[in-house]
Chain A
Amino acid sequence: MSKKRILIVEDEAALVDMLKLRLEASGYATLTAYDGIEALAKAKKEKPDLIILDLMLPKIDGYKVCRMLKFDEKYKNIPIIIFTARAQESDKKIGKDVGADAYITKPFEPQTLLTKIKELLEGK
Chain B
Amino acid sequence: MACKGSGVQSPSAPPKLNLYALKKSHRKIPAIRKNQTENYRLLQDLMDHVPDVIYFKDLKGRLLLVNKAHAKGLGLRPEQVAGKSDFDFFPEERAEMMAKDDQRVFKSGKPIIDKIERATRADGIDNYVSTTKIPRFDAKGRVIGLIGITRDITKRMQIARVSEEEKVLKKRLESLEELNRLKSEFISVVSHELRTPLAIVKEGVNLIYEGLAGGISEKQKKLLSQARENIERLKKLIDDLLDLSRIEAGRVKLSYSLVNLSDLLRNSAEFFQKQARDKEITLKYDLPRERINIFLDGERINQVVSNLISNAIKFTEEGGRVTVELQALENKIRIGVIDTGIGIAKHDIPKLFSRFTQLSKDTGTARKGMGLGLSIAKELVELHGGEIWAESKPGVGSKFYFTIPRYYSIRVLDEFVRRKVNELLTQGLKMHLINFLFIDYKEFVRHLKVKPTDLFSALRAIIEAALGKLLPKPERRRPYIHTDASKGECSIILPEITEKSALKVCALLKAGLDRYLTNNKFANAFIAMGLLSYTHKIRLKERARIPARVFVKEMYVGSEMRKHRRINYKATVEIICGNKQEESRTIDISEGGICFSAKCPLKTDAVIKTKLKIAKDKILHLKGRVAWVREEQKDFYRMGLQFLSVNPKTKKALSRFIRAISRARSG
In the complex, chain B residues 157-202 whose Cβ is within 8 Å of any chain A Cβ = 192-193, 195-196, 198-200, 202
A75 at the interface (CB under 8 A from B): no
Bound CA span A87–B239, Å: 9
Closest to B193 in A: A85
Alpha-carbon gap, A106 to B235, bound state (A): 9
B203: which A residues are within 8 A, CB to CB?
Answer: 15, 18-19, 22, 107-108, 110
* Chain B nearest CB, measured from A95 CB (Å): 15
A19 to B207, CA, bound (A): 10
Known contacts A25-B212, A85-B195, A86-B192; A12 and B206 CB within 8 A of each other:
no
Q: How far is the CA of A105 from the CA of B239 in the complex (A)?
A: 11
Say yes or no: is A21 at the interface (Cβ < 8 Å to chain B): yes
User: Mask for A28-53, Cβ within 8 A of B = 1, else 0?
Assistant: 00000000000000000000000000
Inter-chain contacts of A89 with B (CB < 8 A): 253
- A14-B200, A15-B200, A107-B231 as given contacts; A22 in contact with B207, CB under 8 Å: yes
Q: Does B51 contact A (CB under 8 A)?
A: no
- Could you tell me the distance in whole angstroms from the C-beta of A38 to the nearest C-beta in chain B? 19
B204 within 8 A of A: yes
Give residues of chain B (231-249) contacting chain A, Cβ–Cβ below 8 Å.
Answer: 231, 235, 239, 242, 246
Give Cα A85–Cα B242 distance, bound, in whole angstroms.
12
Task: Verify if B213 is at the interface (C-beta below 8 Å from A).
Answer: yes
CB pair B212–A106 under 8 Å, yes or no, is: no
Q: Bound state CA distance, A14 and B212, in angstroms? A: 16
A12 to B198 alpha-carbon distance, docked (Å): 12
In angstroms, Cα B204 to Cα A105, docked, is: 16
Contacts of B199 in A (CB 8 A): 15, 85, 106-108
Tell me the bound Cα distance from A105 to B253 in angstroms. Answer: 20
Q: Give the docked Cα–Cα distance between A21 and B235 (Å).
A: 23
Q: Mark A98-122, 1 if CB is under 8 A from B, else 0.
A: 0000000111101000000000000
Question: How distant is the Cα of A106 from the Cα of B195 in the complex, in angstroms?
Answer: 6
Least distance between A1 CB and chain B CB atoms (Å): 23
Q: How many residues of B contact A (CB 8 A)?
A: 21
When C-beta atoms are compared, the residue in chain A nearest to B232 turns out to be A107
| Complex interface: chain A residues within 8 A of B195 (CB) | 85, 87, 105-107
Nearest CB on A from B244, distance (A): 14
Of all chain A residues, the one with the shortest Cβ separation from B253 is A89
**Per-residue 0/1 for B202-237: is the Cβ within 8 Å of any A Cβ (1 yes, 0 no)?**
111011001011000000000000000001000100
Q: How far is the CB of B146 from chain A (nearest CB, A)?
A: 73
Q: Quick one: CB contact mask for A76-97 with B, threshold 8 Å, 1 for yes?
A: 0000000001111100000000
Contact A22 B212 (CB under 8 A): yes
Q: With both chains docked as a complex, state the minimum distance between the C-beta of B622 and any C-beta of chain A, in angstroms.
A: 46
Considering only CB atoms, which chain A residue lies closest to B198 in the complex? Answer: A107
If A21-B212, A25-B212 touch, does A110 touch B196 (CB 8 Å cutoff)? no
Tell me whether B213 and A21 are in contact (CB under 8 A): yes
Which chain A residues lie closer than 8 Å to B198 at the CB level?
A: 106-107
For A85, what are the chain B residues with a Cβ–Cβ distance below 8 Å?
192-193, 195-196, 199
Whole-angstrom distance between the Cβ of A48 and the nearest chain B Cβ: 21
Q: Report the bound CA distance from A104 to B203 in whole Å.
A: 14
B196 close to A18 (CB less than 8 A): no
B200–A18 touching, CB < 8 Å: yes
* Contact (Cβ within 8 A) B212 A12: no
The answer to whether A18 touches B192, judged by C-beta atoms less than 8 angstroms apart, is no
Q: Please, how many angstroms separate the alpha-carbon atoms of A21 and B200 in the complex? A: 13
Task: Tell me, in angstroms, the Cα distance from A25 to B204 when the chains sit together.
Answer: 14
CB contacts (< 8 Å) of A22 on chain B: these are 203, 207, 212
The residue of chain A having its C-beta at the shortest distance from the C-beta of B246 within the complex is A88
Closest to B213 in A: A21
Task: Give Cα A56 to B207, complex, Å.
Answer: 24
CB distance from B536 to the nearest CB of A (A): 15
| Cα A18 to Cα B196 with chains together (Å) | 13
A25→B210 CA distance, assembly (Å): 11
Supplied contacts A12-B196, A86-B192, A106-B199, 10 more A-B pairs, CB within 8 Å:
A18-B204, A87-B242, A88-B246, A89-B253, A105-B195, A106-B195, A106-B198, A108-B199, A108-B202, A110-B206
The 9 closest A-B pairs by CB, nearest first: A106-B199, A85-B195, A107-B199, A107-B202, A18-B203, A85-B192, A14-B200, A107-B198, A25-B212
Query: Can you report 29 residue pairs joining A to B where beta carbons are below 8 Å apart?
Result: A12-B200, A15-B199, A15-B200, A15-B203, A18-B203, A18-B204, A21-B212, A21-B213, A22-B203, A22-B207, A85-B192, A85-B193, A85-B195, A86-B192, A87-B195, A87-B239, A87-B242, A88-B246, A89-B253, A105-B195, A106-B195, A106-B196, A107-B195, A107-B199, A107-B202, A108-B202, A108-B203, A110-B203, A110-B206
